[in-house]
Amino acid sequence: MYPILFCSVISLAIFMERVWVLRRKSIIPKDFILKVEELVERNKIAESIFLCQGDSSSIARIFLAGLRNAGRGMWLVKEAIEEKGRREGVILERNIGVLLTIAHLSPLLGLLGTVSGMIKTFNAISVYGGGSPAPLAGGIAEALITTATGLLVAIPTLVAYRFLIDKAHILIFEIEESSIRLVDTMEGKKG
């Protein structure tokens, strides 16, 4: 039971931390994006870079990587944005995989408790015989409780994993869309 309860605490902690980190306004602030696009459209790259340096969002770091290469050609701008975007994507998905591991591990720990409980039950049968159900009850109860607890941890953890991975993928897609718009704006200014 203790490992299952430990898994539940870890699962809840990861879920709460990721929900906090994956807030749209901290990853892709719309006002920031509009301001950078406006500055780039007016060909104020230095101001755009300064604005990106003062923002802590993921999109700011990605834009900054591209804007720093603005004078070196669009190929380098695109390459820098793609590379930084991959890194930010990994950061957004960090620790979410642990939830999937916990979702798989919890029922197995429950199954281990079931086996342990059944071993106790059969030991009780061998010692006391099958006459009285009282010695058997402890082992059977252990088997059922650990199985149920393992499933009670695994099911919400799997739902939390799916929720967070979908949220991260949506944010990554929106980051890509914003980055493409920035590159298009920069190409329009170069052309």
Task: Sketch the domain layout of the chain as residue ranges.
Answer: 22-94+169-190, 96-166
pLDDT digits (tens, 9 = 90+) for 125-172: 777 766 677 767 777 888 889 999 999 999 999 999 999 999 999 999
- The residues, ordered by sequence, that sit 6+ positions from 84 with a Cβ below 8 Å of its Cβ are 61, 62, 64, 65, 66
Q: Chain-wide mean pLDDT for the chain?
A: 91
For 103-114, what is the mean pLDDT?
93
pLDDT digits (tens, 9 = 90+) for 12-30: 999 999 999 999 999 999 9
pTM over 0.85: no
Closest CA to 99 of 21, 12, 39, 173: 12
| Residue 188, both tokens | 């329009």
Q: Is the pLDDT of residue 191 over 60?
A: no
In which band, very low, low, confident or very high, does the pLDDT at 84 lie, cut at 50, 70 and 90? very high
